[in-house]
Structure 1
């Protein structure tokens, strides 16, 4: 429940960003980084308890979103690019899919993309050298 509250605060507060400002993507990047930091702090304080699956999906999803925002900031604000190219499609589709997956996982708390399963499966292989 607290994870949902943190995400609600982040997304609600980011609605007050004026998209006509000079660097909207950079501001959204900073919002995602602050949210990741808050989630990590939350994870630190629940030591000894089971960390929900949603926590990991939020960290991965917000990291992906932050990288997309940073890429768009570089492309649009720093390079002054106004021509459509494949990264813009990745940004547009990736943001929506990432946000939807995070919302679904917050609701059902299941490893829907089997990310944690894959990490556990390959972690043993690389650490043990098998």
Structure 2
């Protein structure tokens, strides 16, 4: 039996935006409920909600094959805005920030590869990467929402980053 992933992807975007809204509200609640809570998860979740909501509306306005390059641009701009907001607000980098940056980078890479495949090489024949793209984008988006809600370093990306840069961990994982 054939299972069409395209209709699932359309509805999954709505679920992701709803999840980002819940993450934003949850982090807003925690900001007032927990004394020593970093503002970073709240800022990241609000910016992600704004970015994903805006890019979701652009799909209807610019329906076409170049939509993948538009989504890649949105992800790059979102990463820059998040980093700029942390710089301007002097927020410390938390595990939430690392996970979202990793997820947005991965999504950008997938968008660019699919754009090159469909627009530049004009490939119209189905191949395995299209299914990988659909599952990969949705999985990464889901894990970013989970990370924004729970705020834990469950893959130890923060520790790996600290080890890679040979710095003392700047993240206090207990109040992220």
Q: Is the TM value for this pair above 0.5?
A: yes
Q: TM-score, normalised by structure 1?
A: 0.84
Post-superposition CA distance 1:51-101 (Å, at most 9, x none): 221111111100110111111111011111122223222211110111011
- 1:52 aligns with 94
- 2:132 aligns with 90
Task: Provide the rounded CA distance (Å) in 2 between the counterparts of 1:37 and 1:99.
Answer: 18
- 1:67 aligns with 109
User: What's the Cα RMSD here?
Assistant: 1.7
Answer 1 or 2: higher relative contact order, Cα 8 Å, separation at least 6: 2
Gapped runs of 5+ residues in structure 1?
A: 125-130
Gapped runs of 5+ residues in structure 2?
A: 1-41, 167-176
Question: Is 2:53 aligned against 1:12?
Answer: yes
Task: Please state whether the residue corresponding to 1:16 is helix, strand or coil.
Answer: helix
Deviation at 1:123, TM superposition (A): 4.4
- 2:64 aligns with 21
**Corresponding pairs, count:** 123
Deviation at 1:34, TM superposition (A): 0.7
Task: Provide the rounded CA distance (Å) in 2 between the counterparts of 1:108 and 1:71.
Answer: 31
